[in-house]
Structure 1
Amino acid sequence: MAAYVASGGDFNRDTDYITTRITADGRDGYPVEPGRYRLIVARACPWANRAIIVRRLLGLEDAISIGFCGPTHDADSWTFDLDPGGVDPVLKISRLKDAYLKRFPDYPKGITVPASVDVRTGEVVTNDFAQITLDFSTEWTAYHRDGAPDLYPEPLRDEIDEVSRRVYTEVNNGVYRCGFAGSQQAYERAYDRLFAALDWLSERLRNQRYLVGDTITEADVRLFTTLVRFDAVYHGHFKCNRHKLTELPVLWAYARDLFQTPGFGDTVDFVQIKQHYYIVHRDINPTGIVPKGPELSGWLTPHGRESLGGRPFGDGTPPPPPRESERVPAGHGAG
């Protein structure tokens, strides 16, 4: 069983990812090419959820296939438990680790999602989750759907990057810093940092609909995947319990606004999210019991954020409904 709690007190995430990029000019040896790459994700994982959302918003389904790992994994690898026989139907592997070892036989780090895999060779290309979504927006433009939004508009990139950095360090990673703290002092420091950032976000979003500009950007995608997991997991499991999301009026309305936007809430599988955290993190939850709650119907209630203006997709249009093979199973969402 893997250990997640930081033995030294403060949790520090290993951010040394495979930085190879898939680009239009192929400068790293992996050119943009429809059908060549498979995006491996797990609905449970917030970092992977970003990639699922961006791929769908941009309409890259025909260009980049997707494979879903199950919600739980052992200390060794994410696995394809959801597929017949436990084998990915395209890569023909049962463990994502196989794709990592195919390229790096002595790969020393954890096997993470999302990961882009070269279907031709079966080798992992990258697991750099932050760069994957930016490259979807900037390198795969020739294969975006008609009406795809600009999630990383050039005039706003500096501000998007600045906001995203703070969201990452203080919120996306901040909840883990609370949950994996190895001492009371480390936990309390992390707790104070997290809620200071949530207070800052509440003020920022009080009078503007989105984090940067008047449309949905990469920054909103990155914040959403943490907020949507907050009450189901982080409030209790990670002890981020000053307030529930539902008790933070601005952020709760903002999160509902995004959840009800096509491409966001229809990618969220609350059952798998809870199974992942409560079953995998046995050093935090030794019984492996998965909580029955919280009640989810509130995600579909009116949010009132339209009054702030803004155009969710800018000059673009909402994505069509998800494909049948990519839909969240019935009973796993908020409906």
Structure 2
Amino acid sequence: MTQLGYIAIVVLWTCSTALATQCGRIENGEIVNEVEQTTTFQCKSGYTSENGIYETTCTSEGWSPVPKCIVQVCQHPPDIDLAEIVSGEKAEYRGGDVVQYRCYPGYTLSGPERITCSGEEWTPPPKCLAPCIITRQQLETKKLLLSNGRKRTVLIQSDQTTEFICGEHSELKIPYLIKCVDGHMDLPTCISGTGEKCGRPPTIENGDITTLSQKEYAFGSSVEYRCQHYYVIEGEHKSHCYNGNWTKAPVCIEPCVVTKEDMRSHNIELMWASDKKLYVSHGDFVEFKCRFRFFLGSSNNYRVQCNAGQIPYPQCT
């Protein structure tokens, strides 16, 4: 580059900076970049652009359009069934304010216990999951006993697993591990068996049994399953031979694959740097951030959850 060209660039940059300075500072905001005539700014924490635009131009008559950073205000936090706000409650909520929830006794909190006022909206709220109540009558109808051999009404919190066994009048003496899911439990029915043998156990996609498969299995036998790496097993881990048939086998739920191409199309990148593909197991969360000079829409959230191979990418514009 010639000395004359270098001087011209310095003069151009100096003029541009001087022009931006002439327009004055941005109240509750700051300039982050200047390219030719375009100035990019950002608002301070707790503030947002009035018109959602973060680019402006300094003209001889001032900023065009005029950048305005206004206070982010949220409505009252969402009402959660069977829960109450235990901290952070106030008359007015601004960007960055946090409230904390607590479920009623016996109910299980699913999701974050704290939500944040962000972009005039609240981050996704939690949910209170109902416990399961298994009555003595249900146990008698299904010919079931609790793991200790007793028969009484019990309360089981959501996402907890309890073991049941068949009573003395059933030939099937195998334990059942049943999980409570938001007030629901699918109890097995114990009936007298014929003692028929079973053939090879059922196969599952993206998983296998933990031992070598046999041609024939005795009545009451069981096999245990496991899934491939990053896959999440759903259902009872074991399948039992019952009257010549196998009980229901589990399924392996596929993970999400986060690629550079997907992130680029949404103008986002990982919150924590990674040069490789990222595998996220079903039910796990992953956090993103906007690429430079892009901003997150008010209806989006940086922290998203993988659901059976699908991930709701946030969109930055």
TM-score, normalised with respect to structure 2: 0.20
Higher Rg: 2
- When you count strand as a share of all residues, which structure comes out higher? 2
TM-score, normalised with respect to structure 1: 0.19
- When you count helix as a share of all residues, which structure comes out higher? 1
